Amino acid sequence: MLIRRRPLLAAPLLLATPALAPSARAQAPFPNKSLRLIVGFTPAGTTDIAARIMAQALGNRLGQQVVVENRPGAGSNIANEVVAKADPDGYTLLMATISSAAINYSLYGARMPIKPEDLAAVGLLLRVPNVIFVNNDLPVHSLRELVAYAKANPGKLNHGSSGSGTSLHMTGELLKSVAGIEMTHVPFRGSGPMIQEIIAGRVEVGVDNLPSVIGHIKDGRVRALAMTTATRSPALPDCPTTAEQGLPDVEATAWFGCQAPARTPRPIIERLGAEIDAVVKDPVTWRKLEELGGMKPDVGPDHGTTPAGFEAFIRAEIIKWGEVVRRSGATVD
């Protein structure tokens, strides 16, 4: 009888365990395990480097490891889709960029695998200036002179970028549209080959993120004409902005932030947003980001570092770059 009764006595305990487990898990504070930060580009680029700096600092603040996972391809659309379809629990985040969070929606159109509302804004981490530069043999020394030269020699100039559909390609298209000039876009597979062609004189004009080209500018191998930011960069203080040279509408900054699946609970979004804001304000972490040519994310009414501020900023960027894509007729293969 004792042998037969033991399973019966144990049964209530076995039944009770699964019923209690979900409740216990629900009460566990966030976060109670490691987080994933999905990066839509290959390692060692600006996006990846910035993501790893943020992951380390954010992990220290949360008390949990933040693991960077590179999922490159389709202009970051693969990473976008991975995060949009992930469990909305705050444990899967996306390293958002100007391309992935804004430009791609108009550039890819119906081929875009997600919609803007499939991702929730968490916080803006930093901005990186773009710089317009030229081959040293081109007889121009300012943006005004470049515009005048292009108008006097329609169709003669080429402008390079690190690839079709990138923010650098779109910045060149924005310059052409606002200034009313003609240049032929020449896409490359990355900044390195593009810069080398400009140094060699086979392409006359380039647009690049400042960290990629600043060494060549300081070495005198190419000539910087303008920063496409509202203010000058401390990393290259002698280079005037586009606004200073009469083209305030040619403003384009590469930016990096964080997004999460759309249905992530609001308290978790707010917690993560507050921690990213603290990361930006931490002097040790910011020094690392500043070495990339990073500029403070002072955009929007609340500087974009809150979830609401970043959301408003993304919406404005989608509209802005959608118009640039429409006017330029830019496409991707």
Which residue numbers in the chain have pLDDT < 50?
A: 1-25, 300-302
**């991975």: which residue's tokens?**
82
Per-residue confidence (pLDDT) for residue 132, from 0 to 100: 97
Structural domain spans, the chain: 35-128+253-328, 129-245
Which residues are CB-neighbours of 226 under 8 A, at least 6 positions away? 131, 132, 142, 143, 239, 240, 241, 242, 244, 245, 247, 250
Per-residue confidence (pLDDT) for residue 210, from 0 to 100: 87
User: DSSP code of 132?
Assistant: E
Q: Which fold has domain 129-245?
A: D-Maltodextrin-Binding Protein; domain 2 (3.40.190)
- Residues of the chain with pLDDT > 90, as a percent, come to 62
Closest CA to 33 of 110, 87, 85, 111: 87
Distance CA 188, CA 139 (A): 24
Per-residue confidence (pLDDT) for residue 11, from 0 to 100: 42
pLDDT in tens, 2-37: 434 444 444 443 444 444 444 444 557 899 999 999
Per-residue confidence (pLDDT) for residue 27, from 0 to 100: 55
Domains 35-128+253-328 and 129-245 share a fold: yes
Which pair of structure tokens corresponds to residue 99? 């391309």
Task: Confirm whether pTM is higher than 0.95.
Answer: no
Q: Which fold has domain 35-128+253-328?
A: D-Maltodextrin-Binding Protein; domain 2 (3.40.190)
